Structure 1
Amino acid sequence: MIAIILIGLAAGCASALMFASVISRTLISVLLLYLASMPLMVAAIGWGPLSATVGGIAAALGIGAIFGFAHCLAYALTVALPAWWLGHLAMLGRPVGDGAEPGPHSLEWYPVGRLLLWIAGFAVLITILTLFSVSTDPEAIVAAMKRSVTRILAMYQMEADDRVIGSAAAIAPAMIASGPLIMLTINLWLAAKITATSGRLQRPWPDLKATTLPPMTLVVLCVAVAFGFTGGLLALAAKIVVGALLTAYALTGFAVLHTLTLALKNRGLWLTCAYVVMILFVWPLLSMVALGLADTVFGFRERFMRTRPPPLPTS
């Protein structure tokens, strides 16, 4: 118990320092801010949710004592809560079969797709809190978006009329939501890797190629798209939900890509080229969104795996 508490306090201190580093306004501080939840995730995965709870509370109280209640609440909702809950879910399992041979392989672990859906939910929460820190008036938020778009275009010495700027500002909330989702996903993956390397990961590594979102996710996406054409705060929140879910489908699209390329001889080269193209040009990521959505509807991975020969016996 003492070791669990000490590990949690150490993780909380590291997370709080990474979160507070943003006051330095340096480039490295942005990276540290994005990775602030990882120490608590490591504690939750390797030493249990109690360890992350202790670390999160201690870090939130420390930040609140130094920077005030607003920063304490922001840390608790955007860093500590996602880290604790996702770490808890990652290690959540239930027995399957008759339980004659207890162990990690006799448990059914929480599905990766549902984990990804929780990450999308936290991304929506973080994005809404970020935008509401600017203003709770949707018109003021849109105006701030337009100013940001104008500054970005000016940085690249590009000019655009008001219609283009307005269109970019309209879809900006959906694009912003993708950032927290990707960073939380990376944080959880890194935390699990670190825990596995240290020998504290008490579960098998999941098959990420099989990641699928729950079927009702597509229904929620369609409803959010419909509400996005309304107005006010409801439309703003709907756009954020759309952006988060489309990003989640993009990640499942990558899982589909990794599955469909299993039969290629130079699979590593093809995957590397695909990742490089998407990082350099960004817009090809839309193809991953389309692939993830298409797999949900048509089941490409399931059909492909039916054509694969069964695995060879291990003994």
Structure 2
Amino acid sequence: MKRLDLKTLLTGALAGLTAALLVLGASVQPSFFSALLYTASALPILLVGLGWGNVAAIVAVVTAAALGAVFISPSFALIMTLVTLLPAGWLSHLANLARPASELGGPDDLLAWYPLSDILLHLCGLVTFAVIVIGVIIGYGPEITDPIVDLLITSLKQQQPEFMPDPAATAQTKSLILLMLPALQGGMWVTMLFAAYYFAVRIVAASGRGLRPREDIPSSLRMNRNSIFIFLAGLAACFFGGVPALIGATVIGTFGAGFMLSGFASLHFRTRGKDWRLPALILCYLASMLMLLPALLILVVGLSDTRKAIALTPTKDADAPKQPDTKI
């Protein structure tokens, strides 16, 4: 943790103010642009955490949460903290962790940084926790999703008077929507928060304040092997129904997004040097956004390529001349 001083505190407070303003701007009129603003509110926290350390990140999180509680409501501040502020602060903390590579069996003059695969694992876990807590706060359940399906059916009947929905199909649709919403919400937030982390790392590295070395994302972004068991546990929970199914769907959405990110990174890595790389990647991205089967294939690629890549950098005294051994 960096030294506590006035400059660090002011930098953290300014970042918290910026994050709060972005969230307040996003809450004015819900839209796709507001979702981008909400995600962008994680950037100031990530920037100060990566560049100025844990103290600045903590000050930024507390400042943003306090402003949200004062100008909106305490519950809004809690949701904002769970969804963006806390994950951003924790990711910046993990990204700055390093230890001697000798502790892992490596050379004595190198530092081993916290693996990117474990950072992604923590992100998936934090978003899962946030979605579950928010679901408890708002009382998420059929009471919220069933009216949405009924409204869609009513609208369809008005457009097509001859349409007669099957009660069994309607019930299945309601059950599917109930599980899909937390999965989609969790997956979207994992993707967008990792994108914010990616840009924050690049900005801090360009400014010269970054401690963590710039990693090659296509070769290093993979999910932790233990994530497979969590993903399978979430899949199994969906068959129990009720609250376990909702939790399982959330896990599938968040960790599935993590595996898709690693799958795309693997595709980037495997297509390096190919003449057809750019159009192939564009086609993969578009197809995975528009169709389910390509997205599942990317997910399978991520599931099949799990490993832990550790970034290494020289220690500060690596270039210093070694003292001769005077012992006889």
| TM-score, length basis structure 2 | 0.79
Query: Deviation string for 1:79-112 (max 9, x for gaps)?
Result: 22111111110111111148764xxxx2111111
Match among 288, 295, 299 for residue 298 of structure 2: 288
59, 84, 88: which one pairs with 1:83?
Answer: 88
For the residue of structure 2 that corresponds to 1:25, the secondary structure is coil
Residue 119 to residue 3, structure 1, CA distance change in 2 (3 Å): same
Structure 2 counterpart of 1:39, one-letter code: P
Mean Cα displacement is larger for which, 91-100 or 238-247?
91-100
Q: Partner letter of residue 139 of structure 1?
A: P
Q: CA deviation at 1:184?
A: 0.9
Query: Which residue type is aligned with residue 192 of structure 2?
Result: M
Q: Which runs of 4+ in 1 moved over 6 A?
A: 157-160
1:224-243 alignment, distance < 5 Å: 224-243=234-253
1:266-277 pair list within 5 angstroms: 266-277=276-287
- Tell me whether 172-181 or 280-289 shows the greater mean CA deviation: 280-289
2:207 paired residue number = 198
Are 2:34 and 1:29 equivalent residues in the alignment?
yes
1:110 aligned to 2:102? no
Distance 1:293 1:100 in 2: 34
**Partner residue in 2 for 1:4:** 8
**Residue identity matched to 2:262:** T
Q: 1:171 to 1:74 in 2, by over 3 A?
A: closer
Q: After TM superposition, give the deviation of residue 25 of structure 1 in Å.
A: 0.7
Secondary structure at the counterpart of residue 112 of structure 2: strand
RMSD of the TM alignment (CA)? 2.9
The Cα shift of 1:171 comes to: 3.6
Displacement, 1:36? 1.1
One of 232, 245, 258 as aligned partner of 1:222: 232
* 1:64 corresponds to: 69
* Deviation of 1:283 (Å): 5.0
Matching residue of 2:194: 185
- 2:56 & 2:189 partners in 1: Cα distance? 24
Residue of structure 1 in register with 2:18 after alignment? 14
Instruction: Tell me which residue corresponds to 1:307.
Output: none
Structure 1: which amino acid aligns with 2:279?
L
Alpha-carbon separation, structure 1, partners of 2:130 and 2:293: 24
Q: Please state how far the C-alpha of 1:163 moved relative to its aligned partner.
A: 4.9
d(CA) in 2 for partners of 1:83, 1:147 = 37
1:180-223 residue CA offsets vs partner (Å, 9 max, x unmatched):
11111111111111112222112211222232222221112222
Considering Cα pairs closer than 8 Å and 6+ residues apart, tell me whether 1 or 2 has the greater RCO. Answer: 2
Alpha-carbon shift at residue 132 of structure 1 (Å): 3.0
Structure 1: segments with no counterpart, 5+ residues: 303-315
What secondary structure sits across from 1:24 in the alignment? coil
Q: Give me the whole-angstrom Cα distance separating, in 2, the residues matched to 1:145 and 1:122.
A: 28
Please identify, of 220-229 and 24-33, the stretch whose mean Cα deviation from structure 2 is larger: 24-33
Q: Distance between the aligned counterparts of 1:236 and 1:193, measured in 2?
A: 36
The residue type equivalent to 2:132 in the other structure is: I
Report what 1:311 is aligned to.
Answer: none
AA aligned opposite 2:113 = W
After TM superposition, give the deviation of residue 236 of structure 1 in Å. Answer: 0.8
Count of residues in correspondence between the two structures: 291
| Aligned position for 1:251 | 261
* Partner-residue secondary structure (3-state), 1:108: strand
Q: Judge conservation of contact 1:134–1:141 (CA < 8 Å) in 2.
A: no
Aligned partner of 2:170: which letter? D
**Equivalent residue, structure 2, for 1:309:** none
Q: Deviations over 1:32-80 (max 9, x none)?
A: 1122111111000011011010111112112212222212222222222
Q: Which has the larger Rg? A: 2
Q: Tell me whether 252-261 or 8-17 shows the greater mean CA deviation.
A: 252-261
Q: Which runs of 5+ in 2 are unaligned?
A: 310-328
For 1:169, the equivalent position in structure 2 comes to 177
Q: Counterpart in 2 of 1:47? A: 52
**Cα gap change, 1:284 to 1:242, in 2 (>3 Å):** same
